């Protein structure tokens, strides 16, 4: 960075012994001995097992860092459960008990230490947990709520010291009140598509090394990306299938929730340069295995092994491939595993799309370019993040849009078969007001990857901005169907915008409320769209609440600084939407 400061996104854990001073006053020697034993026998091994590190100790507390918030929460839950078991039979006035706070955010790195608001927030929410409990910030909760089979209680918003905005807290209810692993069904089952439908579940990392988790995630992502190129298949997006990562849920239930007939499961063991992949394809209607295979190879031929898996899926499901699709399925976009694993991490980082997450993703994508200049994913990724920032008004357009355009074209030049590059090109063209060219690029993107949920969502948004909102609804609905469990996605927010542009104000309000109901991302754009829709419906109190929420959570927001209006093709749309927002009380 320009000032030489190093930053990164991290999961931060702050743990503190309950009543430490009282325990030390009663029995200093015994308390220190018990705490040392607890650390060496339980806490430290669990931290190591889940890939975390101890940043510092404070006598009665710990500051921990994890690369994954899921791993961090798994670790602290196991810690609290282990401590509770050790405390059985020990008088309450002698038992060691902890409060724990978990947050995910930006940290500043100095040597082995970390600082910044990310650490401060974790420290402030730790006292808000109950003894033996865990408190999560809203940012941490969004990352784990659909990935861990854990029940969380809404702890409300809290104004904490030295943090400008209120912090939403979620509390772990404890092992005695958690949901069973065989989770109950959620709502009506999704209708099966009229073509073979499949979900690729997160491959299990059985290497015994948490560092190999990204290798397993990369393999899952690559298989989904390859299968998504086939028009004769319906492939659920990775964000939805990854919601079941680490859960032992029945395959039939997974298929029911995702609305697919077939499920691909697998595991990866990577030791040194040797790799073993176990894969099985299951018909969820019958529960029977269509085929199972074991692949042994090396890091050097891992992409060929993946190609073989993809080909076997296509063959087992009797899917017809066109000449172009056969070629695309065999195309390897990069052979640099480090670059691909970082690309997979970077692509998930901007959700929810707040400035610090966009910055972190951009830095990751730039590192991808350094690792493999011949991989289109890095160029497309930086272009995407830059375009994302301009679209939602986080940065000044100017040179940023020109750079986003140049990077999108560079991605296509490097690898014409990488479909996502056309989505990023479409966004850049849209930002330049080249609406018809943007639509053509978006069409090309979904033609190359017909199962890319993001590609469909952005295509719908681009159509709406170009004055065709009714045509834009179908692509967004398709994105939601392809990625039904991606809670942090902007899909429902985009649908709110499109319905507002189509003057379907009731539909816009319902879409916003649906997003709120499932705890999806809520930022200035959707709050503005919701306020406008409510005002148009005569629901002035609801409009006022949306405007007040915007003012409280995003006090710097102003309509005049928002790039959204510049993206609308027709002046009448700009004026209508602006007038509704102004009437609803949004600040100019």
Closest CA to 564 of 506, 511, 517, 500: 500
pLDDT at 460 over 90: yes
CATH for the 346-583 domain, from 1.10.4080.10, 3.40.50.720, 1.25.40.10, 3.40.190.10 = 1.25.40.10
Task: Supply the pLDDT for residue 538.
Answer: 96
Identify the DSSP state of 40.
Answer: I
Pairing status of strand 6-17 against strand 61-66: antiparallel
| Max mean pLDDT range (137-141, 256-260, 486-490, 508-512) | 508-512
540-555 burial, b at 16+ Cβ within 10 Å, e below that, comes to eebbeebbeebeebbe
Q: Report whether 23 contacts 96 (CB < 8 A).
A: yes
pLDDT at 177 over 60: no
| Mean pLDDT, residues 527-551 taken together | 94
**Tokens 């709520």 sit at which residue?**
145
CA distance 103 to 141: 8
Mean residue pLDDT of the chain comes to 85
The reply to whether 197-330 shares the fold of 6-172 is: no
In the CATH scheme, what is the homologous superfamily, with its name and number, of domain 197-330?
ABC-type transport auxiliary lipoprotein component (3.40.50.10610)
**Tokens 């670790």 sit at which residue?**
75
Task: Supply the pLDDT for residue 181.
Answer: 29
Task: Supply the pLDDT for residue 89.
Answer: 72
Per-residue pLDDT of 28-68, as tens digits, reads: 777 888 898 899 999 999 999 999 999 988 777 899 999 99
Q: Which of 47-61, 416-430, 435-449 has the lowest mean pLDDT?
A: 47-61
At what angle are helices 524-536 and 505-517 packed, to 10 degrees? 140
pLDDT at 351 over 50: yes
CA distance 167 to 148: 22
Task: Supply the pLDDT for residue 184.
Answer: 32
In the CATH scheme, what is the homologous superfamily, with its name and number, of domain 6-172?
Nucleotide cyclase, GGDEF domain (3.30.70.1230)
| Mean pLDDT, residues 424-441 taken together | 95
Task: Provide the H-helix boundaries in 96-195.
Answer: 117-125, 138-144
Domain extent listing, the chain: 6-172, 197-330, 346-583
Task: Supply the pLDDT for residue 260.
Answer: 93
CA distance 484 to 539: 29
Q: Which of 67-81, 196-210, 312-326, 355-369 has the lowest mean pLDDT?
A: 312-326
Percent of the chain with pLDDT over 90: 40
Could you tell me which residue, 119 or 186, shows the higher pLDDT? 119
Q: Which of 459-463, 487-491, 506-510 has the lowest mean pLDDT?
A: 487-491
Q: Report whether 252 contacts 287 (CB < 8 A).
A: yes
Closest CA to 449 of 353, 278, 328: 328
**Tokens 């940065």 sit at which residue?**
395
Cα–Cα–Cα angle for 305, 308, 314, nearest 5°?
Answer: 150
Residues 6+ apart with CB under 8 A from 275: 268, 269, 295, 296, 297, 298, 299, 302, 305
| Max mean pLDDT range (150-159, 252-261, 552-561) | 252-261
Count CA within 13 A, CB hemisphere, residue 195.
12
φ, ψ of residue 368 in degrees (nearest 5) = -60, -45
CA distance 66 to 100: 14
Per the structure block, which two tokens stand in for 363? 């830095």
| Max mean pLDDT range (24-38, 184-198, 307-321) | 24-38
Task: Supply the pLDDT for residue 179.
Answer: 32
Q: Report whether 332 contacts 307 (CB < 8 A).
A: yes
β-bridge partners, 170: 136, 154
Per-residue pLDDT of 218-237, as tens digits, reads: 788 888 888 888 888 899 98
- pLDDT class of 398 with cuts at 50, 70, 90: confident
Helices (H) and strands (E) in the chain, counts: 25, 14
Q: Report whether 513 contacts 545 (CB < 8 A).
A: no
Task: Supply the pLDDT for residue 209.
Answer: 67
Per-residue pLDDT of 90-107, as tens digits, reads: 766 678 989 999 999 988
Count the residues in the chain.
588
- pLDDT class of 456 with cuts at 50, 70, 90: very high
pLDDT at 490 over 50: yes
pLDDT at 313 over 90: no
């Amino acid at each position: 960075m320009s000032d030489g400061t190093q930053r990164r996104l991290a999961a931060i854990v702050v743990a503190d012994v309950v009543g430490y001073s009282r325990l030390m006053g009663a029995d200093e020697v015994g308390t220190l001995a018990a705490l040392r034993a607890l650390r060496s026998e339980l806490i430290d091994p669990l931290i190591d097992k889940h890939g975390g590190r101890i940043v510092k100790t404070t006598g009665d507390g710990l500051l921990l860092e994890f690369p994954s918030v899921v791993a961090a929460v798994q670790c602290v839950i196991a810690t609290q459960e282990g401590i509770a078991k050790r405390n059985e039979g020990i008088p309450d006035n002698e038992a060691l008990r902890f409060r724990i706070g978990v947050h995910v955010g930006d940290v500043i790195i100095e040597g082995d230490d970390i600082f910044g608001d990310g650490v401060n927030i974790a420290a402030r929410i730790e006292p808000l947990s109950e003894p033996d409990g865990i408190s999560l910030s809203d940012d941490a909760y969004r990352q784990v709520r659909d990935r861990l089979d854990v029940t969380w209680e809404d702890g409300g918003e809290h104004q904490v010291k030295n943090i400008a905005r209120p912090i939403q807290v979620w509390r772990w209810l404890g092992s005695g009140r958690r949901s069973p692993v065989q989770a109950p069904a959620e709502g009506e089952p999704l209708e099966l598509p009229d073509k073979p439908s499949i979900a690729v579940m997160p491959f299990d990392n059985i290497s015994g090394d948490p560092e190999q988790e990204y290798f397993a995630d990369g393999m899952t992502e690559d298989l989904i990306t390859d299968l998504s190129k086939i028009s004769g298949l319906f492939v659920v997006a990775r964000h939805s299938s990854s919601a079941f990562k680490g859960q032992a849920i029945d395959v039939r239930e997974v298929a029911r929730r995702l609305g697919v007939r077939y499920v691909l499961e697998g595991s990866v063991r990577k030791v040194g340069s040797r790799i073993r992949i176990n894969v099985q394809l299951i018909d969820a209607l019958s529960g029977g295995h269509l085929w199972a295979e074991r692949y042994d190879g090396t890091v050097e031929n891992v992409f060929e092994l993946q190609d073989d898996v993809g080909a076997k899926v296509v063959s087992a499901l009797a899917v017809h491939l066109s000449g172009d699709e056969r070629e695309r399925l065999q195309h390897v976009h990069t052979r640099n595993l480090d670059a691909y694993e970082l690309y997979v991490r970077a692509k998930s980082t901007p959700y929810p799309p707040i400035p610090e997450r966009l910055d972190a993703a951009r830095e990751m994508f730039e590192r991808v370019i350094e690792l493999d200049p011949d991989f289109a994913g890095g160029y497309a990724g930086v272009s995407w993040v830059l375009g994302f920032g301009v679209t939602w008004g986080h940065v000044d357009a100017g040179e940023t849009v020109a750079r986003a355009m140049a990077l999108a074209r560079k991605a296509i030049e490097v690898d014409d078969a990488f479909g996502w590059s056309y989505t990023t090109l479409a966004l850049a063209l849209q930002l330049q007001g080249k609406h018809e060219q943007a639509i053509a690029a978006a069409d090309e993107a979904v033609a190359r990857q017909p199962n890319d949920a993001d590609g469909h969502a952005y295509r719908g948004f681009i159509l709406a901005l170009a004055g065709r909102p009714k045509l834009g609804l179908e692509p967004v609905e398709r994105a939601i169907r392809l990625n039904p469990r991606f809670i942090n996605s902007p899909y429902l927010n985009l649908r709110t915008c499109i319905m507002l542009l189509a003057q379907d104000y009731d539909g816009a309000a319902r879409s916003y409320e649906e997003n709120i109901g499932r705890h999806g991302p809520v930022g200035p754009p959707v709050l503005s769209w919701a306020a406008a829709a409510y005002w148009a419906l005569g629901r002035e109190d609801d409009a006022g609440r949306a405007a007040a929420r915007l003012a409280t959570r995003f006090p710097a927001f102003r309509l005049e600084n928002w790039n959204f209006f510049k993206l609308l093709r027709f002046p009448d749309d700009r004026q209508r939407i602006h007038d509704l927002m102004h009437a609803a009380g949004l600040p100019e």
